[in-house]
Amino acid sequence: MDTIRVTVWGEYRHEKRNPAVAAVYPDGMHNTIAGALRKQSGFSVRTATLDEPEHGLTDDVLNTTDVLTWWGHVAHNEVRDEIVAKVRQRVWEGMGLIVLHSGHFSKIFKSLMGTSCDLKWREAGENERIWVVEPGHPIAEGLGETIELEHEEMYGERFDIPQPETLVFVSWFKGGEVFRSGCCYTRGKGRIFYFRPGHETFPTYHHPDVQRVIANAVRWAAQPPAPKVVFGNVKPREELAVVQES
Ligand code: ZN
């Protein structure tokens, strides 16, 4: 692929309502994530947010998106079901999907996983050590053995997801819990990556290694357009003997 067309979707509510979040992400988390991706070569990046018409995910946008990233939290239920169905259809056709942090409870992630996607959590600003457990994987390219985040929200197992096809990261938290924090899936022709860190009150998306993971994941999830498949009722390729009805 020449240029990977990325759409960074953000719920963009916390930033407008909570000054503590706005202080960390004055232009919104989606613009911080998009800005980091724009520094990479080979990406064409745009953003979309919940309160835009069709949540910014019109047919035209979805049909020209190779990889969609998704951050949502307080307004999962406001995402319209028909838009979720269109996103899911595009994933089945081959669009990549990167689900970030609290996106674990988004309609699109739950519908693609088919499980509750529930987990344990604690907001104590403890440190998170993300271990690279699949160092040869393209999503781990350029990382050291660990990513160290000084302050993060804790997510703990059990994380109620299907067994990942590849597990790239495992997180450890100061309070003692562990979590499968980098999970790869395929649904239809589409590649999906779930990446755990990114609580809105912490500067996680400014962290160079976190930005690197998201860029690596976008490259991994981007695929050339899949050939159109014909479904439904078909005529026989060869002449069939006529079965007499009695
Ligand atoms: Zn959070």
173 C-alpha to center of ligand 1: Å? 14
Tell me the one-letter amino acid at 182: G
102 C-alpha to center of ligand 1: Å? 5
Which residue do the tokens 């669009």 mark? 95
Cα–Cα distance measured from residue 128 to residue 209, given in angstroms and rounded to the nearest whole number: 13
143 C-alpha to center of ligand 1: Å? 24
pLDDT at 242: 79
72 C-alpha to center of ligand 1: Å? 9
Give 243's pLDDT tier (boundaries 50, 70, 90).
confident
Give mean pLDDT, residues 92-118. Answer: 98
197 C-alpha to center of ligand 1: Å? 8
* Terminal CA-CA length for the chain: 58
The string of pLDDT tens digits covering residues 141-173 is 999 999 999 999 999 999 999 999 999 999 999
User: Phi first, then psi: what are they for 205, rounded to 5°?
Assistant: -80, 0
pLDDT at 87: 98
Edge-to-edge strand list for the sheet holding 96-100: 43-49, 4-10, 67-71, 96-100, 190-195, 178-187, 166-173, 120-132, 146-156
Give 98's pLDDT tier (boundaries 50, 70, 90).
very high
67 C-alpha to center of ligand 1: Å? 23
126's tokens: 């403890």
The string of pLDDT tens digits covering residues 34-88 is 999 999 999 999 999 999 999 999 999 999 999 999 999 999 999 999 999 999 9
Q: Tell me whether strands 190-195 and 96-100 are parallel, antiparallel or unpaired.
A: parallel
With 80 as the cut, is the pLDDT of residue 245 above it? no
Please give the helix or strand (H or E) that residue 222 lies within, else none: none
223's tokens: 């695929």
Give mean pLDDT, residues 201-208. Answer: 98
Domain ranges within the chain, ordered by starting residue: 4-114+180-221
29 C-alpha to center of ligand 1: Å? 13
121 C-alpha to center of ligand 1: Å? 8
| Distance (Å) of CA 37 to CA 43, 75, 158, 196, 233 | 7, 25, 31, 18, 44
Question: Contact at 8 Å (CB) between 115 and 161?
Answer: yes
201 C-alpha to center of ligand 1: Å? 8
pLDDT at 246: 65
12 C-alpha to center of ligand 1: Å? 14
Give the residue from 83, 67, 19 showing the smallest Cα distance to 195.
67
Please give the helix or strand (H or E) that residue 191 lies within, else none: strand 190-195
Chain mean pLDDT for the chain: 97
199 C-alpha to center of ligand 1: Å? 4
Give 226's pLDDT tier (boundaries 50, 70, 90).
confident
pTM for the whole thing? 0.95
195 C-alpha to center of ligand 1: Å? 12
User: Phi first, then psi: what are they for 34, rounded to 5°?
Assistant: -65, -40
State what percent of residues in the chain have pLDDT above 70. Answer: 99
Question: Contact at 8 Å (CB) between 130 and 146?
Answer: yes
State what percent of residues in the chain have pLDDT above 90. Answer: 94
Homologous superfamily (CATH) for 4-114+180-221:
Class I glutamine amidotransferase (GATase) domain (3.40.50.880)
Task: Tell me the torsion sign for CA atoms 43, 223, 10, 36.
Answer: negative
Question: Contact at 8 Å (CB) between 190 and 96?
Answer: yes
200 C-alpha to center of ligand 1: Å? 6
CA 185 from centre of chain: 11
64 C-alpha to center of ligand 1: Å? 30
